C-alpha cells in the first residue's frame, strides 16, 4: 500500500513538473521583455515643465510639450521616466521652482537619484501652407546634475499632417505638431554620442592630456566638465586634437584635476529666434573661438623658433596637399554644412613645422595689406579637415608677405560669413609653415605661406521636407505607394530609401530607388512614380501581407558637385532628410 502511494505521488509530481515546464515555456516570450526591464536598472530621468515662449496657447501648450517629450523618452525603452507627481512633490519639498540654478539641479537630481534632468521650451507656434499646417519649434536640453550644464539637446520642428478640407480647430493641429516635434527631438538626442574622455595626465597644473581625439568627437575650442564620482571637480577647454588624443587647457582647477578623472563635453544648444514670423536657428560659437589661434601659437613662439624644420621634399615643392575634397552634409540637427578635408604631401608631413592651415572659399575674395586673399577659416597645423557651417565666425590668421617673414603677424577676420543653403562653392587650402634658411653662416627662420590647392564644387543643401506618406500614416497599401517631398534649393537629383531599419544602416533591409532627376525650384513638390514595396522589399524579407512599420527618407544632391555629399550607408552621396515612418496594411495571402 505504501509502495503504491509513493509511486502515485512520484507520477503526479513528474506530471506537474512537465506541465509547469510547458506553461513556463509558453509564457516566457510574453514576459521576457518585462522581466528583463525589471532586472536591468535603467537610467532615471526627470522631465521638468517646459516654458512656453511662443505667445500662443499659454500654459496648456507648455504642458503638452512636457508630456510629449516625457512620453517619447518612455517609449524609447532606454530610460525610467519619473512620474510628474513625484517630481512636483520633490520640488515642493526642496522649496525649488523652475527655472533652476546649477545648485538647484544638483539638489533636485540628488533627491530624485537621477543622472540628468530634461528641460526645454516651446519656441514658436506658427501656421504654414495650404491646406493649413501647424508648425511648432521646441528646444530640449539634457542637464547634467553634476555641473548644471547641458550635455545633450536638440532644436526640433514638428508639423501637423496635411488635411485637405480640414475645418477643425487649430489646437488639434498644434497638439499633433508638438507630438511630432517631441519625437524628432528625442530621436536626435538618442542618436547623439556625448564626447567623453579620460584624463591621462596633467601638465604643471595648466594642461591635461586626454585619451580621445577627433575619432571620439573632440574638437578644438570644446569646453568639457571634469567629473569624479559624479561630482564636478574642474573644467578644461580643448586646444589641440589628433586622431586618438587631445590636449586641453585647465580653465577651472576647482577641486583639483587628477588622472583617471572623466571629462564630458558641454553641449551648446542652438538658440531659436523668431523674426517677423520667420523661425531661425543660430548655433553658438565656442568660447575662445576668436582668439584660439593666439593661445595655440603662444607656446610655439615661446618655445618655438627652435630649429625644428624639415627640408622641402623635391617631389612636392611647397605644395602642401595632394587632394582637397569638399563635401556637403547635414549634422545631427539636420543643419547643413560643408566638410573640407585634405591629404598632405611629404612637404607638410612634419607637425613641428606646420603652423596653421588657411581655408579660402570662392565667394570670399577680399585681400589684406600683404596682398593675400583673406581666408574664410583656419585650423591648427595638425588638423586635416575644416567644417564650414551657416554660422559666421571670428578668427585670427597669419598674414605674410610673399617672400616670408621673421615675425608672425596676425590679422583678424570679424566675421567671415557662413555658407548659404542652395549655393555652390569651391575651396582652396594653403599652409603657414616655418623654414630654415642658411645664408653666409647665419641661420634665419622664416614663416611662409604655401601654394593654394583647389577643391571641386560642393552645394550646400537643406534636407528636403517630406510630404507623403505623412508621418506615422497607417494602413498604407505596400503595393501602391507614391512618395512626395518639397525640392531642396540647389539640388537636381534625388533618391528615396525605404527600410525596416530606422537607421538605414542595414542595407539588406533597405530599398533604394533609382535616381530621380528634377529641376524643380526649392519648395516645389517632387514625387516618384507609384512603387510596389511588396515586390521591391517585403517579399525578400519574408514580410509579405504583414503589418510592418517602414521608415522612409529622401536624399538630395547637385550633379555638378565633385565628388558629391558625404557618403552615407551604402556609399551613396546624398544629403538625407529626417525620416518619416508609416505602417502597411495587413493583406490576405495571394490566391
pLDDT tens figures, 92-111: 999 998 888 888 888 998 89
Distant-in-sequence, close-in-space partners of 306: CB < 8 Å, separation ≥ 6 = none
Of 241-255, 471-485, 572-586, the least confident: 241-255
2 with 79, same domain: the answer is no
**Is the pLDDT score of 403 beyond 80?**
no
Phi-psi region of 347 (alpha: psi -120 to 50; beta: other; left: phi over 0): alpha
**Is the pLDDT score of 17 beyond 60?**
no
With cut-offs at 50, 70 and 90, classify the pLDDT of residue 248: very high
Q: Which of 443, 459, 475 is the last residue of a domain?
A: 459
Greater model confidence, 552 or 349: 552
553 with 472, same domain: the answer is yes
DSSP codes of every residue in 484-513 = EEEPPTT--EEEEEEESSTT---GGGEEEP
Positive or negative: CA dihedral 89, 93, 94, 96:
positive
> Does any domain span residue 275?
no
**Is the pLDDT score of 11 beyond 80?**
no
With cut-offs at 50, 70 and 90, classify the pLDDT of residue 20: very low
Looking at the DSSP bridge assignments, the partners of residue 224 are 236, 265
Positive or negative: CA dihedral 550, 72, 217, 321:
positive
User: Which DSSP symbol is given to 422?
Assistant: T
- pLDDT for residue 350: 57
**Is the pLDDT score of 179 beyond 50?**
yes
**Is the pLDDT score of 574 beyond 90?**
yes
pLDDT mean over 241-262: 87
436 with 481, same domain: the answer is no
Interhelix angle for 59-76 vs 170-191, to 10°?
40
343 with 448, same domain: the answer is yes
> Does any domain span residue 84?
yes
Burial bucket for residue 471 (CB in 10 Å: 0-12, 13-18, 19+): buried
Q: What is the pLDDT of residues 466-504, one digit of tens each?
A: 999 999 999 999 999 999 999 999 999 999 999 999 999
Residue 216 CA to residue 449 CA, distance in Å, equals 31
Greater model confidence, 484 or 244: 484
Q: Which domain holds residue 64?
A: 45-191
Residues above pLDDT 70, as percent of the chain: 83
> Does any domain span residue 277?
no
309 with 446, same domain: the answer is yes
Looking at every residue in the chain, the average pLDDT score rounds to 83
- pLDDT for residue 41: 65
Phi-psi region of 18 (alpha: psi -120 to 50; beta: other; left: phi over 0): alpha
Q: Which of 459, 488, 507 is the last residue of a domain?
A: 459
> Does any domain span residue 164?
yes
294 with 354, same domain: the answer is yes
Give the CA distances from residue 313 to residues 72, 308, 346, 356, 474, in Å, rounded to whole numbers and listed in that order: 58, 15, 6, 19, 64
177 with 204, same domain: the answer is no
**Confidence (pTM):** 0.52
> Does any domain span residue 327?
yes
- pLDDT for residue 277: 58
Give the CA distances from residue 265 to residues 194, 223, 372, in Å, rounded to whole numbers and listed in that order: 7, 6, 37
**Is the pLDDT score of 53 beyond 80?**
yes
355 with 427, same domain: the answer is yes
pLDDT mean over 38-44: 66
Residue 449 CA to residue 373 CA, distance in Å, equals 11
> Does any domain span residue 187?
yes
Copy the grid coordinates of residue 367: 585681400
Contact indicator for 559, 493 with CB cutoff of 8 Å: yes
227 with 345, same domain: the answer is no
Residue 147 CA to residue 150 CA, distance in Å, equals 8
407 with 524, same domain: the answer is no
> Does any domain span residue 591?
no
- pLDDT for residue 28: 42
Q: Which of 410, 425, 459 is the last residue of a domain?
A: 459
Which CATH number belongs to the domain containing residue 187 in this structure?
Answer: 3.40.50.10610
Q: What is the pLDDT of residues 194-220, one digit of tens each?
A: 888 999 888 777 889 998 888 788 888
402 with 497, same domain: the answer is no
pLDDT mean over 362-377: 88
Which CATH number belongs to the domain containing residue 513 in this structure?
Answer: 2.60.40.10
> Does any domain span residue 323?
yes
Residue 475 CA to residue 115 CA, distance in Å, equals 40
Of 30-34, 394-398, 454-458, the least confident: 30-34
Give the CA distances from residue 373 to residues 209, 364, 380, 430, 453, in Å, rounded to whole numbers and listed in that order: 36, 8, 19, 11, 13
**Is the pLDDT score of 24 beyond 60?**
no
- Torsion angles phi and psi, residue 431, rounded to 5: -120, 135
361 with 397, same domain: the answer is yes
**Count of domains for the chain:** 5
**Is the pLDDT score of 381 beyond 60?**
yes
Q: What is the pLDDT of residues 135-146, one digit of tens each?
A: 999 999 999 887
- pLDDT for residue 281: 65
Strands (E) across 129-270 are located at 133-144, 149-159, 196-203, 207-210, 223-228, 231-241, 246-252, 262-265
With cut-offs at 50, 70 and 90, classify the pLDDT of residue 424: very high
- pLDDT for residue 22: 39
Which CATH number belongs to the domain containing residue 206 in this structure?
Answer: 2.40.10
- pLDDT for residue 19: 42
Amino acid at each position: 500500500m505504501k509502495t503504491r502511494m509513493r509511486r502515485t505521488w512520484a507520477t503526479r509530481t513528474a506530471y506537474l513538473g512537465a506541465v509547469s515546464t510547458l506553461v513556463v515555456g509558453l509564457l516566457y516570450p510574453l514576459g521576457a521583455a518585462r522581466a528583463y526591464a525589471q532586472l536591468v536598472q535603467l537610467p532615471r530621468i526627470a522631465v521638468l515643465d517646459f516654458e512656453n515662449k511662443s505667445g500662443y496657447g499659454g500654459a496648456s501648450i507648455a504642458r503638452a510639450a512636457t508630456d510629449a517629450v516625457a512620453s517619447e523618452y518612455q517609449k524609447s525603452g532606454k530610460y525610467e521616466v519619473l512620474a510628474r507627481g513625484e517630481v512636483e512633490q520633490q520640488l515642493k519639498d526642496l522649496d525649488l521652482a523652475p527655472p533652476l540654478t546649477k545648485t538647484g539641479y544638483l539638489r533636485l537630481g540628488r533627491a530624485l537619484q537621477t543622472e540628468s534632468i530634461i528641460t526645454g521650451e516651446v519656441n514658436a507656434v506658427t501656421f504654414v501652407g495650404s491646406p493649413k499646417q501647424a508648425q511648432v519649434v521646441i528646444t530640449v536640453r539634457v542637464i547634467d546634475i553634476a555641473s548644471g550644464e547641458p550635455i545633450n539637446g536638440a532644436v526640433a520642428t514638428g508639423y501637423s499632417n496635411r488635411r485637405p478640407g480640414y475645418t477643425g480647430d487649430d489646437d488639434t493641429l498644434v497638439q499633433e505638431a508638438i507630438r511630432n516635434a517631441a519625437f524628432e527631438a528625442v530621436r536626435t538626442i538618442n542618436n547623439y554620442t556625448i564626447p567623453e574622455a579620460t584624463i591621462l595626465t596633467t601638465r604643471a597644473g595648466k594642461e591635461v592630456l586626454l585619451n580621445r581625439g577627433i575619432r571620439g568627437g573632440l574638437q578644438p575650442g570644446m569646453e568639457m566638465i571634469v567629473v569624479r564620482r559624479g561630482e564636478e571637480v574642474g573644467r578644461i577647454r580643448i586646444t589641440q586634437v589628433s586622431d586618438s588624443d587631445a590636449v586641453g587647457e585647465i580653465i577651472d582647477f576647482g577641486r583639483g584635476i587628477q588622472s583617471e578623472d572623466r571629462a564630458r563635453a558641454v553641449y551648446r544648444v542652438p538658440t531659436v529666434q523668431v523674426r517677423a514670423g520667420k523661425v531661425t536657428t543660430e548655433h553658438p560659437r565656442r568660447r575662445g573661438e576668436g582668439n584660439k589661434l593666439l593661445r595655440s601659437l603662444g607656446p610655439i613662439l615661446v618655445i618655438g623658433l627652435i630649429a625644428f624644420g624639415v627640408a622641402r621634399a623635391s617631389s612636392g615643392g611647397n605644395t602642401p596637399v595632394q587632394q582637397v575634397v569638399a563635401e556637403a552634409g547635414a549634422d545631427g540637427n539636420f543643419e547643413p554644412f560643408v566638410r573640407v578635408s585634405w591629404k598632405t604631401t611629404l612637404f607638410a608631413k612634419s607637425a613641428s613645422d606646420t603652423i596653421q592651415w588657411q581655408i579660402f572659399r570662392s565667394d570670399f575674395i577680399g585681400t589684406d595689406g600683404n596682398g593675400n586673399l583673406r581666408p574664410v577659416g583656419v585650423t591648427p597645423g595638425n588638423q586635416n579637415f575644416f567644417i564650414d557651417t551657416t554660422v559666421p565666425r571670428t578668427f585670427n590668421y597669419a598674414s605674410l608677405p610673399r617672400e616670408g617673414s621673421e615675425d608672425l603677424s596676425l590679422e583678424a577676420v570679424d566675421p567671415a560669413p557662413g555658407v548659404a543653403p542652395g549655393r555652390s562653392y569651391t575651396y582652396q587650402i594653403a599652409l603657414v609653415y616655418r623654414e630654415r634658411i642658411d645664408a653666409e653662416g647665419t641661420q634665419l627662420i622664416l614663416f611662409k605661406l604655401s601654394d593654394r590647392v583647389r577643391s571641386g564644387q560642393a552645394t550646400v543643401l537643406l534636407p528636403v521636407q517630406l510630404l507623403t506618406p505623412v508621418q506615422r500614416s497607417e494602413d498604407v497599401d505596400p503595393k501602391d505607394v507614391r512618395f512626395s517631398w518639397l525640392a531642396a534649393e540647389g539640388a537636381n537629383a534625388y533618391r528615396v530609401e525605404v527600410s525596416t531599419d530606422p537607421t538605414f544602416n542595414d542595407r539588406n533591409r533597405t530599398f533604394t530607388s533609382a535616381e530621380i532627376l528634377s529641376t524643380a525650384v526649392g519648395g516645389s513638390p517632387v514625387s516618384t512614380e507609384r512603387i510596389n514595396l511588396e515586390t521591391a522589399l517585403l517579399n525578400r524579407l519574408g514580410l509579405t501581407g504583414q503589418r510592418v512599420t517602414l521608415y522612409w527618407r529622401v536624399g538630395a544632391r547637385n550633379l555638378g558637385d565633385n565628388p558629391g555629399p558625404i557618403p552615407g550607408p551604402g556609399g551613396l552621396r546624398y544629403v538625407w532628410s529626417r525620416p518619416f515612418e508609416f505602417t502597411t496594411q495587413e493583406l490576405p495571402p495571394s490566391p
